[in-house]
Amino acid sequence: VANNELPGIMELLNGQFLMPAPGGDPIRNPDVLPTGRNMHALDPSAIPTQAAVEVAEDVVRKLLEKLADENNGAYPESIAFTLWGTDNIKTYGESLAQVLALVGVRPVADSLGRVNKVELIPLEKLGRPRVDVVVSCSGVFRDLFINQMNLMDRGIKLAAEADEPLEMNFIRKHAIEQAEELNVSLREAACRVFSNSAGSYSANVGLAIENGGWEDESQLQEQFLTRKGFAFNADKPGMMEQQADLFKAALKKVDVTFQNLDSSEISITDVSHYYDSDPTKVVQSLRDDKRKPMSLMADTTTANAQVRTLSETVRLDARTKLLNPKFYEGMLSTGYEGVREIQKRLRNTMGWSATAGEVDNFV
């Protein structure tokens, strides 16, 4: 194996030209290798790519098939999504394309490959109802992909304003109800893209769990709603307005919460970010019937994408690492740093229990 790292640094220090190369997951994009070149991420205006759209459509098909099978053929009316900045860099916009696919809109690229508009897919071609979405974007996603937030907002409002039967367009159905409930226009009621306020990051739920600074789950839920309830509105560019009532009104309609696991490098208990932004129990507390929504995760780390329940994913992760003797014995043999790794995974597993309640007792 060639050692290109130090020679690459020396070339730069000598003022020489170093060949550029993409960064990201080498399994998903083999062009990342060899390392030691001048790494770049991607052109934000070019996502989602066509390849990402095709993978996203496959995941959405599997997701809706799984949900329809478990609900006597009925489609969910609303799905809560979490979008991450670094994950969309690695996948070139797969989870972003999933949101657009559920709504039933298609991203359209110009002659230079820049994706700057969307078009509505006719219901006859879509072959199913348009599913409403509530999108919670990470702070990094907000910083890197503001144009894509604009794209999602425009696509969702395009669907909300489409003159279609309400039983085939859940976005329009919910937007009409919320416009009447909140006494706002249809376009404002159709805002579905939320994040932190400018300069703010995460819901800090993970920080509260790590420091023990919480007394009950309702405190964590209120923290999530307060920090993530800033709406993006394409009609008011450059502004992130606090819209707590609209955020709650959208979340109370959610039937399913959904996240993507799209890197072989990081699992759901490696970091606190995944459960920090999970709205499962938040939705349960807001719903009129207090029913907990179904929690699903898509594993797109391989070519054959899988959609699993969150409890299945936590169970798989725990058996692979936290409860695996080869893992924890290996960690314990490395001393205090290994113990810290075990402690971190245990704490993050407890975080999933607090925010989603999807951790089996045996774990």
pLDDT of residue 65: 92
pLDDT averaged per 10 residues, the chain (length 363): 84 92 76 85 83 91 91 93 88 92 94 89 95 94 91 95 95 96 94 92 82 80 90 86 92 93 78 86 91 89 82 87 88 89 87 83 69
End-to-end CA distance of the chain: 40
Beta strands in the chain (DSSP E): 20-22, 38-40, 78-83, 105-109, 115-120, 132-137, 193-195, 230-232, 240-242, 256-261, 294-299, 306-309
Output Rg (C-alpha) for the chain, integer angstroms.
21
pLDDT of residue 270: 82
Bridge-based pairing of strands 240-242 and 38-40 is unpaired
pLDDT of residue 1: 53
pLDDT of residue 122: 95
Alpha-carbon span 33 to 35, nearest angstrom: 5
Asked whether 88 and 98 are in contact (CB, 8 A), the reply is no
Instruction: Classify residue 321 by its DSSP letter.
Output: I
